[in-house]
Chains A and B, each alone.
Chain A
């Protein structure tokens, strides 16, 4: 049995060890499965384990390696997936009773690409139901605890992805990010989370929440690991009309930090909603960049209140529309003893969907009524345009926008938080989502209780390489 210490290695270290014969993919996969077995009772990141097929895929990778064949940089390396990516023959639940027994007949494009690259799928990860939430407490199928403090939430909605990586139950994980769902749990669990430019990663086979905002995201321990995964996933996909070719697909994170012009968002470092520890941590990071020669200026964005409102209205309206497909007719929760079609739909949906999902469907439907559409929905779209325009202006003059990932530290599990307050956890992350720009959360600083905080970096479209290079700088300088 391999020492579990190997699960703490980076992807590049795994690759070198596999190439050099230090250990095999089977031994590496087994080490992660052993860690899962040890840690799952206290973490609960996985909804479905696929150990048998993982070992088979690892065996095939070892056989290829023995013949001198390599599929790519991730060949033989394990990973895990948020449970809203379709996986052929492996249940995909979106952490909902509605899809508790749903087994897709096809793979999401990102899953197919990782399979093609030789990566080994360990299993599917917990999440807030249909990606609606920011604590992972909205899962209908299990509880996930923060590996750094089981009394705290993981954040969400990709809480299982962040927890699995933080607990070394997978070296990397994929999740989805609509309004911070990768970046916020990454911050709370002390790992790195990237939301690429909208359209850079195909969403084909990813269960939709809000289609104009949804992105596939990556959770890793290091910027270099993230770059390796991103490289394996990019590429236009004819199955996703929004997917785009990346014009600069080289994600080198090493080398000198370039001269940077950095914009600090004034509104996200003031006000009662932002905790003193968060402000302190972000200001320390800014001073570190200044000490390394960066030019720093304060900038202003449209008010956080209107950004959050815009996100809240648009995401709920799109969610209400996307969720209409879950009616139990072709798949999902199905009530058999009803003869009236309307009642059949209503019962399937009411039984299968959880409270937060219903809340957002109702709010989204309300925002799309004739009475409210012009009042809120049209204005939310215009506010989004204003944000995109303002961020474009800023990023024409600066390389980066820097702000905290979250306004506060991690929440306690079971803490009574109103739906309104929960939405405020997205405050710092929604700007990049609304603009469609790439953003990364890198661990930096600690809250009042010693739990990790995230530093949030946003760049112009397709500048993921710069984001990862600066994230790497913060890894090097530490906290």
Chain B
């Protein structure tokens, strides 16, 4: 783990970190990864075995009916030219 990697993860996770935080998390995440080392002793066959047996699901993933456009429209607070208007997230900027 490197500070650069932490910065990249932080950017993807929409966090901005101070240098002190970067250093701290660099150390901590390396330690947590080391703690997860027992998983590395499990073979790819082991993973595949459980996937193939369908053990990796709690209940049936059944296809249901989709919402119709009308149903979505009826739930929207407003509807303009085929779109649902939402408040601006950031004030200002380009209109």
Which A residues contact B (CB, under 8 angstroms)? 198, 212, 242, 303, 305-306, 308-310, 312-313, 316, 320, 324, 327, 329, 336, 338-347, 349-350, 353, 355, 358-359, 361-363, 365-366, 369, 375-376, 378-383, 385-386, 388-389, 418-420, 423, 436
Residue from A329, A336, A362 in contact with B10 in the complex, judged by beta carbons closer than 8 Å: A362
Min CB distance, A371 to chain B, in Å?
Answer: 10
Instruction: Tell me whether B21 is interfacial, beta carbon within 8 Å.
Output: yes
Contact yes or no, B13 A362, CB < 8 A: yes
**Is B89 a contact of A385 with CB atoms below 8 Å?**
no
Are B16 and A347 in contact, with the CB atoms below 8 A? yes
B50 CB contact (under 8 Å) in A305, A338, A353, A381: A381
8 Å CB interface, B40-84 against A: 40-42, 46-47, 49-51, 53, 55-56, 58
Q: Is the CB of A436 within 8 A of B58?
A: yes
> Does B29 lie within 8 Å of A366, measured CB to CB?
yes
Query: Are A312 and B36 closer than 8 Å at their CB atoms?
Result: yes
Contacts of B56 in A (CB 8 A): 381-382, 385
> Does the CB pair B6–A362 fall under 8 Å?
yes
Question: How distant is B62 from chain A, measured CB to nearest CB, in Å?
Answer: 12
Most buried by B among A341, A350, A389: A350
Shortest Cβ gap from B4 to chain A (Å):
13
- Given A344-B90, A362-B10, A385-B50, also A379-B40 (CB < 8 A): yes
Which of B29, B42, B58, B90 sits near A362, CB closer than 8 Å?
Answer: B29
Kindly report which residue of chain A lies nearest to residue B32, judged by CB atoms. Answer: A363
Q: Which 10 A-B pairs have the closest CB atoms?
A: A305-B38, A385-B55, A385-B50, A309-B36, A382-B47, A346-B16, A306-B38, A379-B39, A345-B14, A382-B50
Query: Are B15 and A310 in contact, with the CB atoms below 8 A?
Result: no
Check A420/B50 contact, CB under 8 A, given A336-B91, A339-B93. Answer: no
CB contact under 8 A between A382 and B49, given known A303-B38, A362-B10, A388-B55? yes
In the bound assembly, the distance between CA atoms of A353 and B25 in angstroms comes to 14
Give per-residue flags for B1-21: 1 if the beta carbon is below 8 A from chain A beta carbons, else 0.
000011001111111110001
Contact B89 A365 (CB under 8 A): no
- Say whether, besides A312-B32, A329-B89, A366-B9, A361 and B39 are in contact (CB < 8 Å): no
Q: Tell which of A343, A347, A353, A423 touches B35, judged by Cβ atoms closer than 8 Å.
A: A423
Which chain B residues border A342 with CB–CB below 8 Å? 14
Besides A339-B93, A358-B15, A378-B47, 19 new A-B residue pairs in contact (Cβ under 8 A), listed by A number? A198-B58, A312-B32, A324-B13, A324-B14, A343-B16, A346-B11, A349-B14, A350-B15, A350-B17, A359-B25, A362-B25, A380-B36, A381-B56, A382-B50, A385-B50, A385-B53, A385-B56, A386-B50, A420-B32
Complex Cα distance, B90 from A329, in Å, reads: 8
Nearest residue (CB) in B for A327 is B14
Within 8 Å of chain A (Cβ to Cβ): is B23? no
Cα separation A276 to B9 with both chains bound (whole Å): 41
Measured between beta carbons, the chain B residues less than 8 angstroms from A344 are 89-90
Q: How far is the CB of B53 from chain A (nearest CB, A)?
A: 8
Residue in chain A with minimal CB distance to B1: A366
B89 CB → nearest A CB, Å: 5
Docked CA distance A320–B10 (Å): 11
Complex Cα gap A385–B5 (Å): 31
With A and B bound together, what is the CA distance between A349 and B14 in angstroms? 7
Complex contacts, B40 vs chain A, CB 8 Å: 375-376, 379
A305-B39 Cα distance, complex, nearest whole Å: 8
- Once bound together, how far apart are the Cα atoms of A310 and B17, in whole Å? 27
Q: Could you pull out 30 A-B pairs where Cβ atoms are within 8 angstroms?
A: A303-B38, A306-B42, A308-B35, A310-B39, A320-B13, A342-B14, A344-B90, A353-B15, A355-B21, A355-B24, A359-B29, A361-B15, A362-B13, A363-B32, A365-B12, A366-B29, A366-B33, A375-B39, A376-B40, A379-B39, A381-B47, A381-B50, A382-B50, A382-B51, A382-B56, A388-B55, A389-B55, A419-B32, A423-B35, A436-B58
